[in-house]
Amino acid sequence: MNQKPKVIVSAPVPPDLRERLAERCDIVEVPTGQNPAEVLGADERAQIEGMVCTVRTKVDQALLDALPALKVSSNFAVGFDNVDLAAATRRKVLICNTPGVLDGAVADVTIGLMLCLSRNLVAGDAFVRSGAWTKGAFPLTRDIRGKTLGLLGMGRIGRVVARAAQAFDMKVIYHNRREDPQAEGLATYVDRDELFKTSDVLSVHIPLSAETRHSIGKRELELMKPTAYLINTARGPVIDEAALIEALRAGTIAGAGLDVMEQEPLPADSPLCALPNVVLQAHVGSATHETRRAMIDLAVANLMDALAGQKPKAMVNAEVWQARA
Ligand SMILES: O=CC(=O)O
């Protein structure tokens, strides 16, 4: 009988799915976020053929060197900025991710942040709880109806946000590397500066890469209207956080809604936590029972398919798969 392939599980795989995986693979447990190269001995590492992990696992050259038999690494996330993709592709390690199943959940948090900012809902809750209401009315806020929503990035999530914004009678504009035919009827393509200049709410939906790191900085913030809000449910480091804090303090923009930050978890002494015009969330875009289940189903299916020689549903470096076929 063929030996089952050894796989690292470094993600919250629920018991029923773990059982299914164990029928086909020999599971090696690595606590989520810990470096398998530090947790496992050399003999065990040498036998690892697959891995399912969160974005807290850095799949870099050092880890690839520590796992010389690795064939597939399956991210329990749509983002893959934890992976050195060039190094993985060079080593012919297939990288998988979980696109599609979390679009609605992330779009919901985007819309939620937009409403919290424009209607000041978080401060309104504190206002009532503190008894301040008994002393006077809550300050007026701003409508989003009829305003312009700008989307930086028009992928799957951006399109769901655009569709949702239509229900609020918003005008939706977007900027992408190129105009997207799938955005037709949903949003109007504009150039990048125009997006920053004309958006009343600007929402970020681009992946983190060497090119996008700090791509929203002082210059972009200064292009924005002083009444505009910036929302980020993508990755923290695409925004230069120091520049953003400065802009929020100076009133260059009206506020920000952030589900992601440069440092996560965000410490309570971060200047962001002291700013009244910021609404913060703990990187929870995809964090619902239903969506996380769909994500882990897909991540484990990708891993099992790849190891069984079947084309996984979602591959980041499909060229590795094609070269094998
Ligand atoms: O941040 C979450 C993801 O990339 O799936």
Choice among 235, 241, 262, 292 that is catalytic: 235
For residues 218 and 132, state if they share a domain. Answer: yes
Q: Is residue 180 part of a domain?
A: yes
Give the pLDDT of residue 146. Answer: 96
Peptide bond into 265 cis (omega under 30): yes
33-42 long-range contacts (CB < 8 A, ≥24 apart) are 33/57, 34/10, 35/63, 36/8, 36/10, 36/63, 36/66, 36/67, 37/62, 37/63, 37/66, 37/67, 40/8
Q: Which domain holds residue 252?
A: 103-280
Task: Note whether residue 1 is domain-resident.
Answer: no
* Centre of ligand 1 from the C-alpha of residue 50, in Å: 20
Question: Which residue in 281, 305, 301, 308 sits closest to 111, CA to CA?
Answer: 281
Ligand 1 pocket (Cβ < 6 Å) reads: 77-79, 102, 285-286
The CATH number given to whatever domain includes residue 176 is 3.40.50.720
Q: What DSSP state is assigned to residue 130?
A: T
Ligand 1 centroid–CA 200 distance in Å is: 26
CB 237 within 8 A of CB 263: no
pLDDT at 324: 84
> What does the pLDDT read at residue 1?
56
Which atom, in ligand 1's list, is nearest to the CA of 98? Answer: 5
Q: Which pLDDT belongs to residue 325?
A: 74
Shortest-distance atom of ligand 1 to CA 283: 1
| Same-domain pairing of 270 and 316 | no
Q: Which of 103, 106, 302 for a ligand 1 pocket mutation test, highest count of atoms within 8 Å of Cβ? A: 106
Question: Is 175 one of the annotated active-site residues of the chain?
Answer: no
Is 203 in contact with 238 (CB distance < 8 Å)? Answer: no
Instruction: Decide if 264 is catalytic.
Output: yes
**Any domain includes 285:** no
Look at residue 168 and tell me if it is in a domain: yes
In a domain, 19, yes or no: yes
Same domain (yes/no): 276, 192: yes
Residue nearest to atom 5 of ligand 1 (CA): 77
Q: Of residues 45, 175, 205, 283, which has the active-site annotation?
A: 283
In a domain, 131, yes or no: yes
What pairs with residue 75 in β-bridges? Answer: 53
In the chain, the number of structural domains is 2
Q: Is 283 a catalytic residue?
A: yes
Tens of pLDDT along the chain (325 residues) come to 568 999 999 999 999 999 999 999 999 999 999 999 999 999 999 999 999 999 999 999 999 999 999 999 999 999 999 999 999 999 999 999 999 999 999 999 999 999 999 999 999 999 999 999 999 999 999 999 999 999 999 999 999 999 999 999 999 999 999 999 999 999 999 999 999 999 999 999 999 999 999 999 999 999 999 999 999 999 999 999 999 999 999 999 999 999 999 999 999 999 999 999 999 999 999 999 999 999 999 999 999 999 999 999 999 999 999 998 7
- pLDDT (0 to 100) of residue 303: 98
Looking at the domain assignment, is residue 303 inside a domain? Answer: yes
Question: Residues 257, 232: contact at Cβ < 8 Å?
Answer: yes
Query: What number of other Cβ atoms are within 10 A of residue 288's Cβ?
Result: 15
